[in-house]
């Protein structure tokens, strides 16, 4: 398997100033998997290139299972458990920069422990999407042969599980995280200082004596774009200037899925600034489609022609 994604598959109830929706296909694995699949379509006569590891309840619909499989994902790592599927409910403010979580029901994910299929333990990319650090560490321990290991996280785990999160961050090649969360970890408002503190390990649990942090840190900055500190150097790109903002849910996961899909097939991509810049361009453009419709609809309905036209326009904007 070329890419393995460990994360949530669930249902979202979303309220935005533009649209509302209930029972929408969501979850980090759904968003990142659909995005990655757009850039990693199965070759004719070949099996899927992306494997998903997650858990769903008995209420997870056959239709949504088909949506994921038809996109090119192998779901043999997804277990069906007695109970209900993970569900999140949130409401965005008028600017859509902030979301209020109304409810988070972990349901079958509450006691979930990932089991990576034996044939998947040496992927080109292992992406541990936003989840309890216990789940991320379990996945990392099962994939010692992964060429690139990545994790995403957010404020809840920083506040409640910082020791475990620090251990996980020290054991991956790349951490991809929001700006406010990097600054929260480092207790530092200057972003560049916060990044250095996390990468050195000084702001992680145990400090530098416990070891350095990740060798790459990719900071998602919302409407301000992305700042990536990598072995090949620092790359900064703006967001795509879309005027049709409908729903930001899953935008970061969509960004991550596209980014790491574009590294597949390259030797030592984290050390190659051209490869990384191209991947970040594709990630930014793909994420711009996510925000234009509710849930996963923007990426699911994405056509090759419009996508490449937008990617070309974005390259002209940033001078690449």
Q: Report pLDDT digits (tens) over 100-143.
A: 999 999 999 999 999 999 999 999 999 999 999 999 999 999 99
DSSP 3-state percent helix, strand, coil across the chain (nearest 5): 40, 25, 35
Query: According to DSSP H, which parts of the chain are helical?
Result: 28-39, 62-71, 133-142, 155-160, 162-170, 179-186, 191-200, 251-261, 273-290, 297-300, 304-318
Of 254, 244, 255, give the one whose Cα is nearest residue 296. Answer: 254
In order along its 320 residues, the chain shows pLDDT tens digits of 999 999 999 999 999 999 999 999 999 999 999 999 999 988 888 899 999 999 999 999 999 999 999 999 999 999 999 999 999 999 999 988 889 999 999 999 999 999 999 999 999 999 999 999 999 999 999 999 999 999 999 999 999 999 999 999 999 999 999 999 999 999 999 999 999 999 999 999 999 999 999 999 999 998 899 999 999 999 999 999 998 999 999 999 999 999 999 999 999 999 999 999 999 999 999 999 999 999 999 999 999 999 999 999 999 999 98
**Cα separation of 180 and 194, whole Å?**
10
Residue pair 87/12 in contact (Cβ under 8 Å)? The answer is: yes
Do 237 and 225 meet the contact criterion of CB atoms below 8 Å apart?
Answer: yes
Residue 65 sits in a domain whose CATH number is: 3.40.1190.20
Q: Which residue range is the domain that position 28 belongs to?
A: 3-318
- CA neighbor of 52 nearest in space, from 8, 12, 10: 8
Give the chain's domain count.
Answer: 1
């Amino acid at each position: 398997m070329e890419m393995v994604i460990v994360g949530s598959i669930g249902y979202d109830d979303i309220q935005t100033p533009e649209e509302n929706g209930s029972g929408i296909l969501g979850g980090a694995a759904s968003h990142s998997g659909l995005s990655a699949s757009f850039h990693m379509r199965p070759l004719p006569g070949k099996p899927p290139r992306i494997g998903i590891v997650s858990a769903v309840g008995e209420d997870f619909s056959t239709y949504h299972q088909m949506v994921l499989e038809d996109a090119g994902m192998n779901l043999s790592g997804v277990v069906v458990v007695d109970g209900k599927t993970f569900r999140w409910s949130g409401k965005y403010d008028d600017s859509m920069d902030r979301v209020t979580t109304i409810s988070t029901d972990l349901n079958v994910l509450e006691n979930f422990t990932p089991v990576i299929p034996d044939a998947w333990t040496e992927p080109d990319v292992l992406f541990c999407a936003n989840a309890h650090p216990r789940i991320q560490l379990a996945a990392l321990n099962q994939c010692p042969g992964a060429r690139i290991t990545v994790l995403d996280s957010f404020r809840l785990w920083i506040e409640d599980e910082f020791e475990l999160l620090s251990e996980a961050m020290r054991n991956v090649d790349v951490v991809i995280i929001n700006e406010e969360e990097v600054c929260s970890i480092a207790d530092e408002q200057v972003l560049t200082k916060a990044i250095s503190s996390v990468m050195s390990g000084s702001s992680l649990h145990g400090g530098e004596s416990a070891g350095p942090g990740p060798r790459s840190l990719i900071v998602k900055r919302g409407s301000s774009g992305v700042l990536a500190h990598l072995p090949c150097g620092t790359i900064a790109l703006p967001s795509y200037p879309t005027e049709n903002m409908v729903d930001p849910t899953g935008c970061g996961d969509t960004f991550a899925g596209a980014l790491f899909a574009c590294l597949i097939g390259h030797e030592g991509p984290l050390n190659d600034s051209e490869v990384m810049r191209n991947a970040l361009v594709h990630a930014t453009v793909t994420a711009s489609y996510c925000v234009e419709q509710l849930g996963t609809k923007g990426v699911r309905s994405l056509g090759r022609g419009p996508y490449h036209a937008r990617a070309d326009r974005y390259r002209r904007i940033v001078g690449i």
